[in-house]
Amino acid sequence: MVDGEVRNVPGWFWAGAALALLWEAFGCFTYVSQVTTDPATLPIDQRAMWEASPSWMIAAYAIAVWVGLIGAALLLMRRKVAVPVLMVSLLAVVVQFSALVLVPQLRETTPSEALLVPVVIVIACYVIWQFSKLAARRGWLR
């Protein structure tokens, strides 16, 4: 890279950035779906999980998905600021799911088979952040 010149990016970068954007957009959709749902309409086990969720968990969820969407859009626009923005999203995801360990009521009402979803989400967000770091190291972001 010479004098701030940005290298041409491979096609797989565009595919990865587009997938990151779709992932984050889906997260935003699930967030809106969750916060607009009337808990009274949920099955009793899901209602118990909803009622046990602390407000800071929901706030971290909002930060994770909306900041993640911004970060993925910045990645698609090839902006270096995507890296720290996606890191904030990843940290918010970790804070969000820490409630499953820190809040006894939530831990007790969450079925063990439902614990795979948070693991997959944390891994996916970590991969997206690492992808952004790789793009920055390779000079694909400006």
Q: What is the pLDDT of residues 34-76, one digit of tens each?
A: 999 999 999 998 898 888 999 999 999 999 999 999 999 999 9
Judged against a pLDDT cut of 60, whether residue 5 lies above it is answered with: no
Output DSSP code: residue 110.
Answer: S
What phi and psi values does residue 116 have, to the nearest 5 degrees?
-70, -35
Distance CA 17, CA 88 (A): 17
Q: Looking at residues 110-131, what average pLDDT do you find? A: 94
Which pTM was predicted? 0.90
Burial class (CB in 10 A: 0-12, 13-18, 19+), 50: middle
Provide the residue ranges of all domains of the chain, joining segments of one domain with +.
Answer: 11-137
Q: Looking at residues 98-116, what average pLDDT do you find? A: 90
Please give the pLDDT value at position 114: 85
